[in-house]
């Protein structure tokens, strides 16, 4: 699934967020989509000690604040992107992640661009569209896509393929066999074996070989070209290491995987990658299972 617009960039007006503007603008220009830049303001409340139920936003403070913020955001965009960027400015107030999601909903954003941190994690968990957690990344670096082979994970794979094709860079698909090994151990227990026994080296090689074949089949099914890597370490750490090795300019992961406990594991994998990645991370909402 290729990225669609509009592209919504959330900025706090710090210098670190200039990278968000550059990457958001590059995506918007690449797909021919509108660029929207948003900023979240603190709410200014009218204090009513005797009647707190009537407290509300103090417009005498909020309106001048919004005018000043709109001018500052516009000036920052012009400084970083130039006047030709043609970005629309949107403002909201309240908690940053809730306000960003509200703006995304009312603008119909197809991609949200945020910086690393707690807000990025909260936005990525709840957003109905892909979220790009933008960091300085190797110029011309490849795209790394991670999959657990479940049907719901395929949107992330197709998005990785589409981004690699759009950018004209190498695609690498990775899969960790850690979960496969856990399933093999559990299956052995159900069959009457000892579920907590470590799998043999031969079984590990078989699992890795099967995973490689499946990755190659997934790659062929997308019509993309690139290479595949089977990871034996924890998925989060393995994906981060593989991104450094490529080197990758973008990692694409999903927010949800298989059902049950592995679904929670897949969520923790995405959070670990977002927190530790050496480059930008694109978090793609995965389709729910039937």
Residue of 166, 208, 168, 219 whose CA lies nearest to 184? 208
Give DSSP secondary structure letters for 96-132: HHHHHHHHHHHHT-SEEEE-SSHHHHHHHHH-SS-EE
Numbered ranges of CATH 3.40.50.620 in the chain: 1-44+54-134, 135-176+212-290
Specify the fold of 1-44+54-134.
Rossmann fold (3.40.50)
DSSP tag of 139: T
- For residue 163, the model assigns a pLDDT of 94
115 neighbors 269 (Cβ within 8 angstroms): no
- For residue 266, the model assigns a pLDDT of 40
Q: Which CATH superfamily is domain 135-176+212-290 in?
A: HUPs (3.40.50.620)
- For residue 286, the model assigns a pLDDT of 74
Taking the C-alpha atoms of residue 61 and residue 44, their distance in angstroms, rounded to an integer, is 6
- For residue 223, the model assigns a pLDDT of 81
Lookup: tokens for 269: 């994998």
211 neighbors 148 (Cβ within 8 angstroms): no
Taking the C-alpha atoms of residue 255 and residue 123, their distance in angstroms, rounded to an integer, is 11
Lookup: tokens for 213: 């074949």
- For residue 51, the model assigns a pLDDT of 54
210 neighbors 184 (Cβ within 8 angstroms): no
128, burial (CB in 10 Å: exposed 0-12, middle 13-18, buried 19+):
exposed
* CA 86, chain centre distance (Å): 25
Read off the pTM: 0.84
- For residue 62, the model assigns a pLDDT of 74
- For residue 57, the model assigns a pLDDT of 59
Bridge pairing between strands 280-284 and 131-133: antiparallel
Per-residue pLDDT of the chain (290 residues; tens, 9 = 90+): 689 889 999 999 999 999 999 999 999 999 999 999 999 998 655 454 455 555 555 667 778 888 999 999 999 999 999 976 789 999 998 899 999 999 999 999 999 999 999 999 999 989 999 999 999 999 889 999 998 887 777 888 999 999 999 999 999 999 998 865 555 544 554 445 555 556 778 888 898 999 999 999 988 888 888 999 999 888 899 999 999 999 999 999 988 633 444 443 346 788 999 999 999 999 998 754 43
Residue of 161, 163, 175, 155 whose CA lies nearest to 285? 155
Taking the C-alpha atoms of residue 11 and residue 39, their distance in angstroms, rounded to an integer, is 5
Residue of 282, 246, 278 whose CA lies nearest to 23? 282
Angle at 165 between CA 161 and CA 168, to 5 degrees: 135
Bridge pairing between strands 88-93 and 171-176: unpaired
């Amino acid at each position: 699934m290729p990225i669609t617009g509009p592209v919504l960039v959330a900025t706090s007006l710090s210098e670190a967020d200039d990278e968000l503007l550059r990457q958001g603008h590059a995506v918007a220009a690449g797909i021919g989509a509108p660029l929207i830049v948003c900023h979240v303001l603190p709410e200014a409340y009218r204090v009513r000690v005797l009647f707190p139920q009537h407290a509300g936003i103090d417009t005498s403070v909020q309106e001048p604040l919004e005018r000043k913020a709109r001018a500052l955001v516009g000036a920052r965009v012009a400084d970083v992107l130039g006047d030709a960027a043609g970005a629309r400015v949107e403002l909201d107030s309240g908690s940053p992640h809730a306000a960003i999601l509200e703006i995304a909903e009312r603008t119909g954003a197809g991609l949200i661009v945020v910086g690393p941190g707690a807000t990025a994690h909260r936005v990525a968990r709840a957003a109905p569209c892909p979220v790009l957690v933008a960091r300085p990344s190797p110029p011309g670096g490849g795209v790394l896509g991670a999959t657990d082979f479940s049907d719901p994970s395929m949107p992330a794979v197709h998005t990785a393929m589409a981004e690699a094709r759009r950018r004209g860079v190498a695609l690498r698909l990775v899969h960790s066999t850690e979960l496969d090994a856990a399933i093999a151990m559990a299956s052995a227990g159900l069959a009457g074996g000892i579920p907590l026994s470590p799998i043999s080296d031969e079984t590990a090689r078989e699992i890795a070989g099967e995973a490689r074949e499946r990755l190659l089949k997934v790659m062929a099914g997308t019509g993309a070209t690139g290479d595949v890597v089977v990871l034996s370490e924890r998925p989060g750490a393995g994906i981060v290491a593989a991104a450094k090795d490529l080197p990758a300019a973008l990692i694409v992961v999903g927010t949800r995987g298989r059902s049950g406990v592995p679904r929670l594991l897949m969520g923790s994998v995405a959070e670990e990658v977002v927190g530790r990645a050496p480059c930008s991370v694109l978090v793609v909402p995965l389709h729910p299972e039937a």
